[in-house]
Amino acid sequence: MATTKSTKFNVRGINHLALVCSDMEKTKHFYEDVLGLPLVRTSNLPGGGQQFFFKIAENSMISACWYPNAPDHAPEIATSGWNGLDPATGQQQRPVNKSGTSAHGSMHHVAFEIPLADQEDYKNRLRAAGVPVTEVNHHIFYGYDGKQASHPSLIPEDAEAIDEFVNSIYFPDPDGRTFEFAAYTRPLVPDDVKHTPARAAVPQDEVEVTARPVATPLQRTAGA
């Protein structure tokens, strides 16, 4: 049985991740025939929809939901979107002046963990199945401002603080979401957590309210 890492609850994994699809037949073929994930449950949903569950590992599944009147796909809002392969680099192609982000509250992409030794083989298997796949992205971080290199040959000679913890290949699902096969290159260690969390932009009127001094009970009584 899987053991939890939570210090508050006995959470043993992600039971399922629910993704909305536009065509359940194409989605079933992708998960079951291309990715090899067994279909373990199907059900109808109110309003004529469907939900299919595919098993990933002992304690995790991916769920495909289909709604007949769902809104259209919104790449770079609901997800990071898939823009094809860059022929020059073999990595994901980005639109001009776009960074591959998505909206607050969105699901940027889905990453599956795989063995590092199998990454090249899996890339070739996906391509043989007709799925466009990037070359391996080594995610090499360097410097102190978030610079990345996708391959060791692209690291500047004077680079400092070089670090690589995961290698990835990326490919699209039938609805244009970006999927990732990620393989750790080293264990994560306590020093991997070293950044202060960023804050959301706070409107000026909220800043002013927060900055006002709060009167003590004695001051409030005196003022009355």
**List of residues 6+ apart from 60 with CB closer than 8 A:** 13, 14, 15, 16
Structural domain boundaries, residue 111: 72-190
The whole-number pLDDT of residue 195 equals: 87
Q: Dig out the tokens for 154 from the structure.
A: 């692209």
Mean pLDDT across the chain, nearest whole number?
90
pLDDT of 213 > 70? The answer is: no
110 belongs to a structural domain: yes
H or E segment to which residue 124 belongs: helix 119-128
pLDDT of 206 > 70? The answer is: no
| Residue with more model confidence, 129 or 2 | 129
Cα separation, 13 vs 60, in Å, equals 6
Instruction: State the CATH number of the domain containing residue 32.
Output: 3.10.180.10
Question: Are both 18 and 65 inside the same structural domain?
Answer: yes
The whole-number pLDDT of residue 224 equals: 45
- Fill in the amino acid letter for 173: D
223 belongs to a structural domain: no
Question: Are both 93 and 115 inside the same structural domain?
Answer: yes
5 belongs to a structural domain: no
222 belongs to a structural domain: no
pLDDT bucket at 144, cuts 50 / 70 / 90: confident
Structural domains in the chain (count): 2
209 belongs to a structural domain: no
175 belongs to a structural domain: yes
Question: Are both 106 and 144 inside the same structural domain?
Answer: yes
Q: How many CB atoms are located within 10 Å of the residue 121 CB?
A: 11
User: What mean pLDDT comes out for the span 147-176?
Assistant: 93
Question: Are both 90 and 146 inside the same structural domain?
Answer: yes
- Fill in the amino acid letter for 153: S
